[in-house]
Chain A
Amino acid sequence: MRGSTRRGAVVAAAVGLTLVLAACGGDDDGGDDSGSGGDGGSSEGPTGSVSINSTQPENPLIPTTTNEVGGGNIVDAMWTGLVSYDSATGEPGLAVAESIEPNEDFTQFTITIKDGWTFHDGSPVTAQSFVDAWNFGAYGPNAQLNQYFFGPDGANIAGYDAVAGQTDDTGAFVEGSATAETMSGLEVVDESTFTVTLGSPNSLFETIIGYSAFYPMPESFFTDQAAFIEHPVGNGPFEFVEEVPNTSINLTAFADYAGDPKPQVENIEYRVYADLDAAYADVVANQLDILDKIPPVGLAGDVWKTDLEGRSASEPLTTRFTSMTFPLTNTEAWADPNLRKAISLAIDREAVIAAAYGPGNYVPANSWVPPGNDGYVEGTCGEWCEFDATKAQELYAQTAGVQGTLLISSNSDGGHREWVEAACTSIRETLGIDCQGDYDPDFGSFRARVNANEITNPFRTGWVADYPSIQNFLAPLYTSNGSANDGGYSNPQFDELIRQAAGLEGQEALDLYNQAESLLSEDMAIIPLWYDNGQRGWSTNVNEPQFTWKGYVDPLSISVQN
């Protein structure tokens, strides 16, 4: 009896200890800590922590070299530029800039900045902060991905060529070809004023400089870039706390933010998801606060409407465009325009959308510009974007055809597998050729392959406009030197029309852009697929957030429910 009592006591102690330890090991996921940051939910300061889905940024969080969505959303939360775009409409408005005065022919702008703006490390935002940052971005040896925004495809600042230098055929910078470190068109007048002289008239200048490439940079960036990459410093509403690679990037509200509106939430975790299906499951279970794109698993059968009842929304996006691009510089396989047209005719866009996303959830594209943008003309693609099996087969018979299996490359972490498979099924059934998807596990590695010009088969290209203008859907993507021209399409007539349009305003400019767009349908080097609709959801922990004109959540609109 004594023995069993002792043994019983030992067992009871062990069980009790286990229970205590289990209770002490609290939850460590940052998902639903709403309200935990703030006491009593005062309206004085930002409160609470939220999580938002993200992809791992491809590059360091430096504005002049961030050109993809994962990094772009975080950069946009950490910086504020001279001009910002209205969250709902995309209309540009002054932010850090006090005023931007153009001269009569849009070749020179005098920019004055407001007082009181500081970086997260306390140093002031001055005219020099902008000028130094823009020169850094344009300087050839720095190899910044957004360099082209300072040149003829973007703002076209005078003196860009000397600073940018030359690139060889592969796009690599030629050593020693940059003859200056600063652009002659940038001149600091005093601490809060600087002038910008352009190489050619550009009426869209004030719109363009709202893009993240034009954000200011603190002096600490220029003195120690390596330290900056470890801990980036901006001037925006949220400052950097820490990054756990491939897991999350954490930001916190910047107490001395000089802009309006002020942040309402205290901590933001951009949580990296390799698979949107997991993100969808999390947002349904309230483990993830904001999901800005509902993947096919939620769209199929419209289950998202019941799963996320009262905490979801859907709206057409004027800024998103999905297409398929043929590589033209690293292979001759796609040189025949009839082959490209045949493939475009063979894709039944409605059926692909119905299978991959659910009927009606995306809109088949028949133009290279989404509806809702100034200058949108319906049907510029014409017959080539309408599914026609007979015509596709006839046209295909006139070409040399596809050697072996037709591959379509894409990343698999954004809900893209389904449509690539469906598009392949459509092509296979129509043309009788073998078709297969070729996937990179994440967006960053896929873009790395695209940027290195390694892909020799058609691949997915998705564009989110940098600023709300038809020019942004055409110039960076399809001009010969456009930095987002992934396939290497080159049409001198197209380039000329775009160049002329940049010097005009209003309807005159739009007409020229439309003419340029029509040229694209003759070549079909880039096949329009569909316009994305934005379906998004959020948890019960947050109030309904505002989604920007780009379709991403506006961090300033997020607030936790009390």
Chain B
Amino acid sequence: MSRRRGGGHAAAVPRSLAGDAWRDLRRSPLFVGSAAIILVLVAMAAVPGLFTNADPRACDLAYSRQPPSGDAWFGYDLQGCDMYARTIYGARASILVGVLTTVVIAVVGSVVGMFAGYHGGRVDALLSRFTDMFFAVPMLLGAIIVLATFPSTIDTPSWQTIGKVVLALGVLGWTTVARLMRSTVIQVKQSDYVQAARGLGAGSRRVLLRHVLPNAVAPVVVYSTIILGVFVVLEATLSFLGIGLQAPVISWGIAISDARAYIRQSPHMLLFPGAFLSVTVLAFIMLGDAVRDAFDPRLR
């Protein structure tokens, strides 16, 4: 049973899928909650100083592995660094990797999928097989190979290290987006307004950008918000393996890796970065869920 919206008055503004979706999202507690969490995390990543005065790099061996107390809410790590500060500052690298990788795969995957779906025929066959080649490689394995081929040294500036991790994850992550985009574009291609536009003589580029893309982008947006959380976890995995981000960059993955040997003696070293990681992933997945529900025309 569909809800009636807008009552009897004629809409002054043309209604679009995106507009409807936004109205639904605004009212969804799932979306509001996760968006709030994400805003806090983004603030943490952008301006860590807002959340803590402590310097994550000011370490004192005398405090090594001390548990949480009034002075240090999250305790200290092995080197005597304030865990709270390290967790806050660690948000930046972890979230940056997640966001950048998602942007990369969304763009690359969309472009490939769009051309494959729209043009069909030989172009589609070529691009699809190309996508399949990348699909076959397990993402973590590929990331390990890429990072081992371009190792980072002490002198590598942190943006380069982050860039390498983004590349390593992005080079294999775009395939799902491409497939998603392709199938959506094939669907949208059949629709009336596209046929009408082509009938009126619109060129491929105009049709793609003005008609196809806005209507095909919804699944990709949903997927991206969900996969962002996965990329944050993958960054942690790579750092844990020792090939991702390296000291002196601070990230949750590095903190978790450092805490691994002391889980029994000092669980707080693992607990807090791990909890933040979980909350971040959860927030993005919830966001993706809410966005998917809002954009899915079948749920109306």
Contacts of B59 in A (CB 8 A): 425, 428-429
Chain B residues, CB < 8 A from A422: 61, 64, 78-79
Contact B61 A351 (CB under 8 A): yes
Is B80's beta carbon under 8 Å from chain A?
Answer: yes
Residue in A300, A425, A428, A438 whose CB lies within 8 Å of B65: A300
Complex interface: chain A residues within 8 A of B123 (CB)? none
CB of B144 to closest CB in A, whole Å = 14
CB-based contact B60/A301 at 8 Å: no
Interface of A is mostly: helix
Asked whether A352 lies within 8 Å of B61 as measured between CB atoms, the reply is: yes
Q: Is B62 located at the chain interface by the 8 A CB criterion?
A: yes
| CB-contact partner of B154 in A301, A356, A436, under 8 A | A436
0 or 1 for each of B80-123: is its CB under 8 Å from A? (1 = yes): 11000000000000000000000000000000000000000000
Contact B262 A426 (CB under 8 A): no
Assess A301 versus B79: contact at CB under 8 Å? Given A355-B61, A425-B61: no
Interface of B is mostly: loop
* Contact present for A429 and B265 (CB under 8 Å): no
- The residues in A between 488 and 541 inclusive whose CB is less than 8 angstroms from any CB of B are none
Residues 291 to 340 of chain A near chain B (Cβ within 8 Å): 295-297, 300-301, 303
Per-position 1/0 for B156-187, Cβ under 8 A of A: 00000000000000000000000000000000
B209 within 8 A of A: no
**What chain A residues lie within 8 Å of B154 (beta carbons)?**
405, 407, 436, 438
**Interface status of A421 (Cβ within 8 A of chain B):** yes
> A418 near B: Cβ within 8 Å?
yes
Cα–Cα distance between A296 and B59 once the two chains are bound (Å): 19
| B202–chain A nearest beta-carbon distance, Å | 58
Q: How far is the CA of A295 from the CA of B260 in the complex (A)?
A: 13
Which among B57, B64, B261 is the interface contact of A355 at CB below 8 angstroms? B64
The A-B contact count (CB < 8 A) is 60
Do B248 and A425 touch across chains, with their CB atoms under 8 A apart? no
**Closest A-chain residue to B64, C-beta based?**
A355
Question: Smallest distance from the beta carbon of A529 to chain B beta carbons, Å?
Answer: 14
A422 to B258, CA, bound (A): 13
**A348 within 8 A of partner (CB):** yes
Q: Is the CB of A421 within 8 A of B248?
A: no
Instruction: Confirm or deny: A440 has a beta carbon within 8 angstroms of a beta carbon on chain B.
Output: no
Which residues of chain A are within 8 angstroms of B79 by Cβ–Cβ distance? 355, 421-422, 425
| Closest Cβ neighbor of B265 among chain A residues | A301
CA distance A407 to B265 in the complex (A): 29
A84 to chain B, nearest CB (A): 38
The reply to whether the CB of B39 lies closer than 8 angstroms to some CB of chain A is: no
- Closest Cβ–Cβ distance, residue A264 to chain B (whole Å): 35
A68 close to chain B: CB less than 8 A: no
Task: Give CA–CA (A296, B79) in the complex, Å.
Answer: 13
Contact status B247-A277, CB under 8 Å: no
- B contacts, CB < 8 Å to A: 57-62, 64-65, 78-81, 154-155, 247-248, 261-262, 264-266
A residues sitting closer than 8 Å to B (CB atoms) are: 277, 295-297, 300-301, 303, 348, 351-352, 354-356, 404-405, 407, 418, 421-422, 425-426, 428-429, 434, 436-438
- 7 shortest interchain CB distances as A-B pairs: A301-B265, A297-B261, A351-B61, A355-B64, A425-B79, A425-B59, A300-B265
Given contacts A296-B261, A355-B61, A428-B59, 12 further A-B contacts (CB under 8 A): A277-B261, A301-B264, A351-B61, A351-B64, A355-B65, A355-B78, A355-B79, A418-B78, A422-B61, A425-B81, A436-B154, A438-B154
